[in-house]
Amino acid sequence: MISSEFAKEYQRLIADNTSGSRELLIKLIKFLQKHQNEIDADIIIHLQNHFSDFQTINSFLKKFSIAFKNKRLEHFFKENPIDDKVVYKKIFTNFLPYIKNFQTIITISNSKTISEVLKLISQSNKSLKVIISEGRPNNEGTIFAERLAESNISTTLITEAQIYQFAQKTDCAIIGADKILANGNVINKVGSYLLALACKELNKPFFVLADKSKSCLDNCFIPKEYNRDEIFKTEKKIEIHNFYFEEITKELITEIITD
């Protein structure tokens, strides 16, 4: 029987719709490590279904499931550290040659990888300016903006509707990725395609920053809808759609930077 603490933390974890995939993975690892004696096969399956949009979490849960079946969780957690700063450092190092003279960068939503890379960039580029699109409907971009501001990075927050206007004022755009398909297309938060199109029109570089765990063998992406009440709650007969993720075609991507 699971504890009340387990139940509360589990609900908090699966209700998190503002964290990026890497940040969600860190929270998931902490949760599973803390409650490993209360985990069963049904919970693992439920987690896999719930986080099906996040490739890095899918890959982790597949390995976790095997370790669980073989009763090797203690060894598994030693091989899968909660957070690996080396990954962010490698992505930053590989990205640096592309942005040596860049001062203003635009991004969207909330991403642990993007956050860590921007912090590394700001250490040597004190004049760095970052423009963040809020990430409707849950406005996780506001969380991202506050984190960057706390790191003394000049930060501007905008709505998705202002992406084209502000993309004109930037040197490049960067986004994270929830999946990198085998065909080179990328899955990320809705609004990313709009940003990519703006960059294409304005002849601005559009970069994807993601660790290798985001890559998958699939070539097909089927978007699923989330709670429509997040967009607008009404009893009137209004058709409402709420998609979190979309596919950005490789033709719109300047480069995918990984570790």
At 199, give phi and psi (nearest 5°): -65, -40
What pLDDT sits at residue 1? Answer: 64
Q: Count Cβ atoms below 10 Å from residue 36 Cβ, excluding itself.
A: 15
CATH of the domain at 112: 3.40.50.10470
One domain for residues 135 and 222:
yes
Query: Quick one: how far is CA 77 from the chain centroid?
Result: 22
Q: What is the DSSP string of 65-101?
A: HHHHHTT-HHHHHHHS-S--HHHHHHHHHHHGGG-TT
Together in a domain, 17 and 104: no
Among 20, 47, 79, the domain boundary falls at 79
Nearest residue to 42 (alpha-carbon basis) of 10, 17, 12: 10
State the average pLDDT over residues 4-23: 91
The residues near 250 (Cβ < 8 Å, ≥ 6 apart) are 183, 184, 185, 186
Assign 94 a pLDDT band (cuts: 50, 70, 90): very high
Give pLDDT tens digits for 152-165.
999 999 999 999 99
Q: Which of 57, 79, 101 is the last residue of a domain?
A: 79
The amino acid sitting at 42 is D
**What is the pTM assigned to this prediction?**
0.89
Residue 101 tokens, joined: 């003279």
Domain termination site, one of 53, 79, 105: 79
User: Can you read off the two tokens belonging to residue 249?
Assistant: 């075609």
- Domain match, 136 and 60 both: no
Of 20-24, 31-35, 77-81, 226-230, give the lowest mean pLDDT range: 77-81
Q: What is the Cα–Cα distance from 68 to 239, expressed in whole angstroms? A: 43
* Full domain range(s) for residue 43: 4-79
Residue 49's identity, in one-letter code, is N
Please tell me the predicted confidence (pLDDT) of residue 221: 93
Provide DSSP, 170-231: -SEEEE--SEE-TTS-EEEETTHHHHHHHHHHHT--EEEE--GGGB-S-------B--GGGT
Q: What is the mean pLDDT of the chain?
A: 94
DSSP per-residue string spanning 123-146: HH-TT-EEEEE--TTTTHHHHHHH
Same domain, 45 and 133: no
C-alpha 37/C-alpha 99 separation (Å) is: 47
Which SS3 state, helix, strand or coil, does residue 255 take?
strand
Count structural domains, the chain. Answer: 2
What is the rounded radius of gyration, in angstroms, for the C-alpha atoms of the chain?
A: 19
The residue count for the chain: 259
Half-sphere exposure of 228 (CA within 13 A, CB side): 8
The answer on 71 and 48 residing in a single domain is yes
CA distance 101 to 84: 28
Q: Shortest CA distance to 221 belongs to which of 194, 206, 243, 195?
A: 243
Query: Which residues participate in catalysis according to the annotation?
Result: 178
At 99-117, the pLDDT tens digits run 988 999 999 999 999 999 9
